Each structure stands twice: as C-alpha cells, then as structure tokens.
Amino acid sequence: MNFFNLPDLGEGLQEAQIIECFTRKGDSVQQDDILLSVETAKAIVDLPSPQDGIIEHIYGQPGDIIQVGDPLIEFVTPSSAKQDTGTVVGVVSESDTVITEPAIAVHYALPMNSKATPAVRALATRLKVDLTMVKPSGSNNTITANDIKRVAKMIKESGAMVPLKGTRRTMALTLNQAHREVVAVTINDDADIAAWYNKGDITLRLIKAIAKACKAEPTLNAWYDNHAVARILHEKVDLGIAVDTEHGLFVPVLNHIENRDSNDLRNTLDTLKEAVKTRSIALEKIRGHTITLSNFGTFSGRYANPVIVPPTVAIIGAGKTRPQVVQVANQFESHMILPLSLTFDHRAVTGGEATRFLTILLNELERAE
C-alpha cells in the first residue's frame, strides 16, 4: 500500500478543503492524472497523482478539511497483496485517556491542537455536536463535557451552526491572528481631487500615490516579525488590493508598482480581478504583498479602520467620494473629496512616520496631472 498525503501547498498553509474528487475507489490512475482539487489560501489547486496505481481508498469527501501531511489517497499496485489490518468493534466511552487526532474530515476532526476524551466524544455524538465548532475550556486545550453541552444548547436555541469553509475560513483565521498581534492605530483625512476628478482613474491615482509615499517614507512599506521583534523595509512596493467576492475577501498583488506606468497597472489589475472572479488566480499572485489598499468606497462608507494582516504594517482605506463646499481665495466652490483612512501597526511605525506618509499621499492625490 502507498499513501498520498496532502503536500505543503505554500508557505504557512496548514490545511486545505477538498473541493472535488475526480476518482473513486477501484479506479486505475497514471502518474500526473488529476486526483482532487483543493482550496487553500484563497486559491483552488489541482493535485496530480504521484504514481501509477489503483485507488484503494479516498480519505475525505468534498467539503472536508485536511491538514498538511494527512492522507488523501491510498494506492494499491497490481503486484501488492492486500493485508487485513483487523477491525475493532465497540465504543470506549469510560476511559479518561485524552486523544488527539490529525484533522482528516471537518465532521470528525478537532480544532487545531484541541483534545477530547472518548467519553466527551461519545457525548458529542449523542448530542449531535460537531467537535470542530467547540471552543475548548479545559486544561491543555481539552474539550470538556460542559463545552459540548454549551454548544448543544446554542444549537437547540438558534439552529445548527455552519462551519466556515474555504476563503471565509482562511479569512477568519487570518483576522484572528491580526487581532491577537497588531497594535493598530488609524488616522483619517480628506484629499481634494477636484483638479483631476473628471478625467482620472481614482484607483490608478491611489496606486501611484502610494508608490510615491512608500518611497519617501519606507517604514510603512515593511514587514514586522512579532517573535524576533524586528522589521524588514522593502525597496520594491508590492501592493495588495482587497477584492470583495461572494466567497470572501481576496487580496491579489500588484508587484513593483513603483516602476510601472498607468496602462500596465490598469491592465494587470483587470487581469487579477478577472482571475479572482473565476477562481483561477495562482497562489503566487495572492501572497507576499508589502502594503495594502482597500478601496471600500466603491460600495459605501466614508472612513474605516482597515485591518492590517501580518507581517505587513500598513493598509490604506479609500472611502466614497463626495462633493463638498470649499473656500478658494475669496469665493466658495464645490469640490470632489476623497476620504482616506490609514491604519498602521504602532509596534513598527511611529505616529510621525504615519502622518508624514499620509501627507505625501494627500499631496500626490491633490495635484493635477
């Protein structure tokens, strides 16, 4: 017997959700035949067979979440002899031995690093509680009987809980990390864009202005390492642009924005958005950004507190443009205003550095072409 385990699909990624199985038990496959497609880090990846063989068993079904290193496919070759590994009948429900299992399927796996005794597992089965939805309160991250009863009561009162999967699960875990680590501070201001509003592309002007601000104040175009208490200042500016979809938030990356002209940036941005829409974007196109832009004003909202995702230290939020009466010399005029929000990680960036960055951003946006 040979096993095909979930490989490491990218830096820092520990799990993937099965999207589709292209084979079944008994199928004969050849090396490089596509076995499954999985979703991880907001991208869908096809997994080819590492060998020729016959499918003996598939571990998990579409919708299940698999951890890196866990078995996906069991192969048998024509020359292999099947061995009876034996079967244990019965359920142990009295033991106090704590069991920790790798996550193989979302309906049977525990949250990462969580544990439960057989008795607690039996209680969860009887009360129809999915252990993946239970937050442990016992020592050493152990799920207790009271944890099971609490979740069972919630289900009875409010209806069944639906686990977050795919992009939304990744987003939830990432934002949990951001909430735990980042010391976020947000400052707001307005850019008067009347000089070019009727003849310019707001998103492109934002991108070009961010590139200029990063060059002048590079401390915001950086990564911060929470454990080493150290930072990396980047010379290149790789801008992550938040894109909202029905599946959740994607952040495709525009690389080297400091060296590219407007037409190139617009074409690349349109290509990235289309790839996100069709779920065909490559993993390398959604990782490694050095600073982020959230153009939420295309929907609604004036100011926000955008969330910084480690290891980056800054995110710019652009709100909804609005007309506003401003004084020009001795008269009043109606100008278009672009509200801006800058959130920075105060562990790595000082208030002075952040305000200087924002000032440069405002000046670039307010000048005529």
Confidence at 302, pLDDT banded by 50, 70, 90: very high
Give the 3-state secondary structure percentages of the chain, helix then strand then coil, rounded to 5: 30, 30, 40
Is the pTM for the entire model greater than 0.85?
A: no
The predicted model gives 338-352 an average pLDDT of 97
What residue ranges define each of the domains in the chain, with the CATH number in brackets? 2-76 (2.40.50.100), 169-366 (3.30.559.10)
pLDDT higher at 368 or 163: 368
What is the rounded CA–CA span in Å between residue 113 and residue 136?
A: 10
Residue with tokens 């601000």: 213
Strand partners, 338: 191
113: left (phi over 0), alpha (psi -120 to 50) or beta: left
pLDDT in tens, 260-285: 999 999 999 999 999 988 888 888 88
Ranges 40-49, 53-62, 124-133, 295-304, most confident: 295-304
Query: Which pLDDT score is estimated for 42?
Result: 56
Confidence at 98, pLDDT banded by 50, 70, 90: very low
pLDDT in tens, 3-16: 888 887 765 667 78
The predicted model gives 203-215 an average pLDDT of 97
Query: Which pLDDT score is estimated for 12?
Result: 60
Instruction: Give, as one character, the DSSP assignment of residue 312.
Output: B
Confidence at 163, pLDDT banded by 50, 70, 90: confident
Among 311, 320, 264, 273, which Cα is nearest to 292's?
Answer: 311
Range in 30-34, 202-206, 339-343 the model is least confident about: 30-34
Percent of the chain with pLDDT over 70: 87
The predicted model gives 345-363 an average pLDDT of 97
What is the rounded CA–CA span in Å between residue 147 and residue 135?
A: 7
Residue with tokens 């686990």: 163
Range in 14-18, 144-148, 290-294 the model is least confident about: 14-18
| pLDDT of 369 over the 90 cut | no
Can you list the pairs that 244-247 forms with residues at least 24 positions away whose Cβ atoms lie under 8 Å?
244/299, 245/167, 245/276, 245/277, 247/166, 247/167, 247/168, 247/279
